Structure 1
Amino acid sequence: MQLAFAPELKAFREEAADWLETQLSGPFRGVRGQTNQVDNVEERRAWEQAMGAARWSVVGWPEQWGGRGASIAEQVIFAEEYARAKGPPRVGHLGVELIGPTLLALGTEEQKARFLPAIAGGEAIWCQGYSEPGAGSDLANVKTKARLEGDRYLIDGQKIWTSMGMIADWCFVVARTTPGSVGPKGLSFLLVEMDQPGVDPRPIRQMTGEAEFAEVFFDNAVARAEDRVGAEGDGWKVAMALLGFERGVSTLAQQMHFRNELDEIVEAAKANGMAQDPITRQKIAKAHAGLKIMRYNALRMLAEDEAAAGGTLSGAAYTYKLYWSQWHKALGELAMDVLGQAGEIGANEERMPPLPTMYLMSRSDTIYAGTDQIQRNLIAERALGLPREPRGA
């Protein structure tokens, strides 16, 4: 496996690093280093638009749709430089990383022309209408319904844990369009405008003081029939294809964010003397080694995907979410061990400091986007080809 970048990529790295440093130390210094997803929404939208104007927002997309047609190596480099420059979490990430690639792969030409420029240009923020109170890891248990009347669908139901739900312009919604259907059959994948009567997002306040999630209620909300991705009843296939993009190049940006968190833990340990404790040093070394393993496995996964021209996931790719969620959960525990009692004191009444916030958020890593139990089933059934787990009657 090639672990070094070709020399000719040096200029690309320098261009990316220079642009990021210029912007984040200049007009967008106010968002540099932010960790919350939804702070300073207007400035964060402006940041997305600036990235889009410079064609850095979706570097791997074709130039026709606002990208640079960047190779996997170039996409990895940009992800690394973005995290190294302490760029803020992307408020447009669900559009950039999930629905955008899905439309590129499965959307009609009309859908691409309508939606992709706004995603690439930072003009449209998206949220994900998958989870429901009774359909989390068991996504096939979706109860939200949509009925076709003429040239539009009318949607009724409820979604929960909707990231960006309070600020999003659009939502991609999995809804049941075949009456009486159960499981993955009879679902459709609809693109729904949020600013309309019948869509009611309500914030979910987290214990960290943030409200990155929303509960979204649909009451005769409208989606145009032409904004259905895939055929009616094929929503499960589209939904699963979209989830495959979660294991794309964005994983490298996530790892660089993890690197920043680990560096912050090391600095805290040096400052309060915990760096002299041999057990703490051993835990930090273990975290460092685990992050290196994560990086090498992700690079292998991306290289295999590129060689297969974006084909089906390799068996190794199914292990990624289980590995990083367990690693990050342990990193949160390490942060609290290093901080000691100081980690239990909030900076103010509304927000906790970054490392305690990371610890609290990391507790959910093994639940969202598929619990660890679900991930192990996927590895067994899809990667290893073992018999399916018996289902209840």
Structure 2
Amino acid sequence: MDLSYPPEAEAFRVEIRTWLEENLPAGWFDEGFSQTPEEKQAFNEAWPAKLYGGGWICAAWPKEYGGKGLTTMENVVLAEEFARAKAPLRADFFGDTLVGPTILQHGTEEQKKEFLPKIMKGEMAWCQGFSEPDSGSDLASLKTTAVLDGDEWVINGQKVWTTQAQFADYCFLLARTDPDVKKQAGISYLLVPMKQDGIEVRGIVQPDGTAEFNEVFFTDARCPAENVVGGVNGGWKVANSTLSHERGMSATTGYRRFEQEYDLMVAAAQANGKIDDPVIRQGLTRYYTKVQILKINGLRSLTQTVQGTKDLGVVSLGLTNKMFWSEMHRDAMELALDIFGAASMLVDTAPASGSWPAVMRGEGRPTYQPSGMMSAFFFSRSETIWGGTAEIQRNIVGEKFLGLPREPKVEPPKK
């Protein structure tokens, strides 16, 4: 690693820090600062407009599309300062982090002018229509179809695990538009309006009573012909661009949430005496070590990006990092339960949430409302699955970067 922050990036850091100090609620940076549920709700409702007014949403986008045109290091500094302040930066993960950059990279000028301003202003909510009941890890086997009918695509099929579909205005969807070619070659990437009669959204209720995930059924749903991103049958390449955005982590900030959890776990172990247990100490040491590895790998990848150089190890980091941190976090949350004990699973004796995320959003009031730490434990079980399962990532790394034989394909039984 050979990484330095240029003077202009450090000057930009001062600008961001000043803006945050002037726009976050009074007392935000004070030790022990807290908000009532009503204050949190009011902050969450007002904050996206403040972000947009400050120009921080999608600030790395080119100026002609509403961004600030930040350099790589300026974008790193932006992420660092928001992480330092523990201030939310994203307005809509699916819009500004996944489909927005994808449209920037592969979309037509008409698509950029139509969708990007609305994404930046928070006027358009999105969901992702990739996985299907029988096409998750093997995404190229998807069966949802889109057939051109005049100036519209007619879509039929089913998607699953579609987060926030019940609130979305649009879905960036993969559909088979040519069944007669190699399966990866016959897929298109469509921007589909969700508010229409041909789309049914059914919530998948989680153990805590929320329904963030959904099944989505398309029955002769309609989509404008011009809403294809990357050309007809070019969807596989475009989808991989989207997945690279989903799997990406900010190089110098991604590890910080894990460090915060580590600090909470150490403090709890010291308070209840579990720190004297050698198994607990070993688990904490292992977690700390892996967080530092994640940090170093992020800096290594950033160095290569800034210098415009690549080596095989860095190219594979995009695949291995997601697998690494998701399995690391799953194990860490099991360790957290060991530290806090069985009482941590009860509503009235659960530990304070600290830096752990709040209860996952869902439709309706949860029948069981876990603590922030328990929400993190529940969610960690899914982190090795979404964005590419750990098993599939191992296959790709083994075959593409280690030169191992391809996994044998099992032929379906003949009828």
Shorter-normalised TM range: 0.7 to 0.9
Q: C-alpha separation between the residues in 2 aligned to 1:95 and 1:109?
A: 17
What corresponds to 2:386 in structure 1? 368
Equivalence map 1:1-393=2 (5 Å)? 1-2=1-2, 5-6=5-6, 8-25=8-25, 44=44, 46-88=46-88, 90=90, 92-179=92-179, 183-250=183-250, 252-308=252-308, 314-347=315-348, 349-393=367-411
When residues 266 and 210 of structure 1 are mapped into structure 2, their CA distance, relative to the original with a 3 A threshold, is farther
Describe the SS at the equivalent of 1:335: helix
When residues 27 and 151 of structure 1 are mapped into structure 2, their CA distance, relative to the original with a 3 A threshold, is farther
- Tell me the CA shift for residue 92 of structure 1: 0.5
Cα RMSD after superposing both structures:
3.0
Q: C-alpha separation between the residues in 1 aligned to 2:175 and 2:145?
A: 5
Q: C-alpha separation between the residues in 1 aligned to 2:45 and 2:195?
A: 17
Describe the SS at the equivalent of 1:314: helix
Paired positions, count: 386
When residues 378 and 13 of structure 1 are mapped into structure 2, their CA distance, relative to the original with a 3 A threshold, is same
Describe the SS at the equivalent of 1:377: helix
Could you list the runs of 5+ residues in structure 2 that have no partner in the other structure?
349-365
8 A Cα contact 2:57 2:90, kept in partner: no
When residues 23 and 319 of structure 1 are mapped into structure 2, their CA distance, relative to the original with a 3 A threshold, is same
When residues 119 and 302 of structure 1 are mapped into structure 2, their CA distance, relative to the original with a 3 A threshold, is farther
- Tell me the CA shift for residue 137 of structure 1: 0.8
When residues 14 and 372 of structure 1 are mapped into structure 2, their CA distance, relative to the original with a 3 A threshold, is same
Q: C-alpha separation between the residues in 2 aligned to 1:165 and 1:27?
A: 36
Q: C-alpha separation between the residues in 1 aligned to 2:249 and 2:326?
A: 17
When residues 264 and 212 of structure 1 are mapped into structure 2, their CA distance, relative to the original with a 3 A threshold, is farther
When residues 206 and 190 of structure 1 are mapped into structure 2, their CA distance, relative to the original with a 3 A threshold, is same
Query: Radius of gyration: which is bigger?
Result: 2
Identity %: 42
Which stretch of the first structure deviates more once superposed, 230-239 or 82-91?
A: 82-91
- Could you give the per-residue CA deviations for residues 70-122 of structure 1, whole angstroms, max 9, x where no partner exists? 22222222223323323348451121111111111111111111111111222
- Could you give the per-residue CA deviations for residues 185-237 of structure 1, whole angstroms, max 9, x where no partner exists? 31110001112221222222222443322221112221111110122111111
When residues 385 and 64 of structure 1 are mapped into structure 2, their CA distance, relative to the original with a 3 A threshold, is farther
- Could you give the per-residue CA deviations for residues 277-306 of structure 1, whole angstroms, max 9, x where no partner exists? 444233223212211110121222233234
When residues 203 and 46 of structure 1 are mapped into structure 2, their CA distance, relative to the original with a 3 A threshold, is farther
Could you list the runs of 5+ residues in structure 1 that have no partner in the other structure?
none
Amino acid at match of 1:346: V
